[in-house]
Amino acid sequence: MISLKFPDGSARDFESGVTGRDVAASISKSLEKNAVAVVVDGAIRDLGEPIEDDGDIRIVKRTDPEALTLIRHDAAHVMAEAVQALYPDTQVTIGPVIENGFYYDFAREDSFTPEDLPVIEKKMAQIVASNHPFTVEVWSREKARKVFAEKGEHFKVELVDAIPEGEDVKIYHQGDWFDLCRGPHMDTTGRIGKGFKLLKIAGAYWRGDSNNPMLQRIYGTAWANEDDLKAYLHQLEEAEKRDHRRLGREMDLFHFQEEAPGAVFWHAKGWSLFQALIGYMRRRQQDWGYVEVNSPDMMERTLWEQSGHWEKFQENMYIAETPDDRVFCCKPMNCPGHVQIFKNGLKSYRDLPLRIAEFGKVHRYEPSGALHGLLRVRHFTQDDAHIFCTEDQITEECVKLNEQVLSIYRDFGFEDVRIKFSDRPEKRVGADEVWDKAEAALKRAVEAAGLSYELNPGEGAFYGPKLEYVLRDAIGRDWQCGTVQVDLNMPERLGAYYIGADGEKKVPVMIHRAMFGSLERFTGILVEHHAGHLPLWLSPVQAVVATIVSDANDYAQMVLERLKAAGLRAEADLRNEKINYKVREHSVAKVPVILVAGKREAEEGTVSVRRLGSQKQEVMSLEDAVAMIAAESVPPDAKPSGAAKAA
């Protein structure tokens, strides 16, 4: 007999070899009907898999969050079966679950086309409706190689060979079709339901290696029900409308080109927005007691060896050798440079905490296929800062940082912010006892701030644990932006110290902090969050004066001068075009306010005010219009009744 403990704390004895399905049936017929998998000691399993030992158990119903991964996994298998049924010459390779869906890579001589997707979807629906059971067999390695080789599935043979010795070779069947798979799966194909759709076709190298054959990848999405699917497809449509790359062109903010992959060519308007972000952060940091510095973009290899970057981060670094045989690296991070600034001149405990900030340009190699507009670049600017403090000061400093970063996100319209705690990664520097101390200190700080967090295991920086701030945007997407990291390793590796109250040398704690994170990425997120309709204080062009007739040109120039005198970023449009054309063009460019000036306005000293997204216009005196726009353009941190500044 074995003892199984349930989530409510109760335990029951069962015969060894009992299945999750049997356990569910022993509780109730309705649970057996709704069960799709079982979790034993934290690991999800097939309902039909025997349970041999004592442990904790939980039955997974189709409505539970874990079931969504199973739905997508099963949908990938059904898609592969559908493809091979329709196109028998196709080899299937791998088909994992990904965020919001799944994909499968196929080897086929002919190319798939977008027109094939609804055909494959229809076949998938038939397979789902057939409600075939998923069953699993364990084959010998020799049998698996032989069967797949005879079927012409050469990629599967290679996958069989890659399975470590001693690990089972599992084959999952669904009707007459089968595939190599670790599992688990739900009990039948019918459990997938109707909430799936195929999205697009892309190319992908076998095993991600450009030296290997090019395969065809079909992406799909799957959800628990059709309503969830519709909501996700609506989100995709909204995301396409908000795509910062398209809006960047329409708003004349930036561009990219092949000669500088992953690097931004900022246009005047985009640079104005970028500088507005820096100006905002600079003001906040000054209020919080930071000093701003600047460190070299390129430093010798020896420094990166001492910091640990050469060993742990080298594949992401740009490296250059000079004629005098010295090896230099473009900085991928600002922290080693800030340690050098801290080390310059003797520091005592009275100087701590010392808060150093830099808008530093960093350079990190990203694969070409990973680059994505402003959201994934190779050269970017961080609002980076490092706090050098004593161990006793960690909690207080991190509590302040939590307050500060959340106040910043509120100023930019992000109210829904989640925190992830990322602990030690497999690839790291420093002793475990140092990591224990750093992780404990960071957890105490979050708890002292009264904030909840979710664990993100193994995702810390190589030098210390971190908090990640995840913003949810206007259409429900999550973006990881700011980070706070406690580092007890790098200062010691680079020889930093201060003189303690006892007169002895002590190694400072180094808290790494970025709030926007990458300014390039944050700009892209902002543009998409606001669909290009940025808050007035951030807009590159806050107002345009557009004339109806040329007789009003002189008056329009005077209006423009008044706007600029009030500190506003404004332009005049005096072109010989119809006013509707001008309004439409500036609306596409997301100019928030258009002041229309005609002959009557010039005579009366008024302007007609049009707001972006509204068909209405309001006639106002020039003085009132300028005052109104100037008041609305004040940054939130500069308003007397604005966002409270965290101390």
Which residues are annotated as catalytic?
335, 364, 382, 384, 386, 466, 512
Choose among 78, 114, 113, 112: nearest CA to 95: 78
Antiparallel, parallel or unpaired: β 214-222 and 101-107: antiparallel
SS3 456: coil
User: Are 421 and 454 in contact, with CB atoms under 8 Å apart?
Assistant: yes
Contacts of the segment 561-568: beta carbons below 8 A, 24+ positions apart: 562/622, 562/626, 563/595, 563/626, 563/629, 566/626, 566/627, 566/629, 566/630, 567/630, 567/633, 568/542, 568/543, 568/626, 568/629, 568/630, 568/633
Antiparallel, parallel or unpaired: β 43-45 and 11-14: unpaired
Phi-psi region of 544 (alpha: psi -120 to 50; beta: other; left: phi over 0): beta
11-14 β-sheet, strand order: 11-14, 2-5, 55-61, 35-40, 43-45
Which two structure tokens, joined as six digits, stand for 212?
């290997």
Q: What is the DSSP letter of 464?
A: B
Antiparallel, parallel or unpaired: β 319-321 and 505-506: unpaired
Q: Which residues 6+ apart lie within 8 Å of 103 measured at CB?
A: 76, 95, 96, 217, 218, 219, 220
Neighbours of 555 (CB within 10 A): 20
> In angstroms, what CA-CA distances link 342 with 51, 292, 337, 382?
58, 12, 9, 19
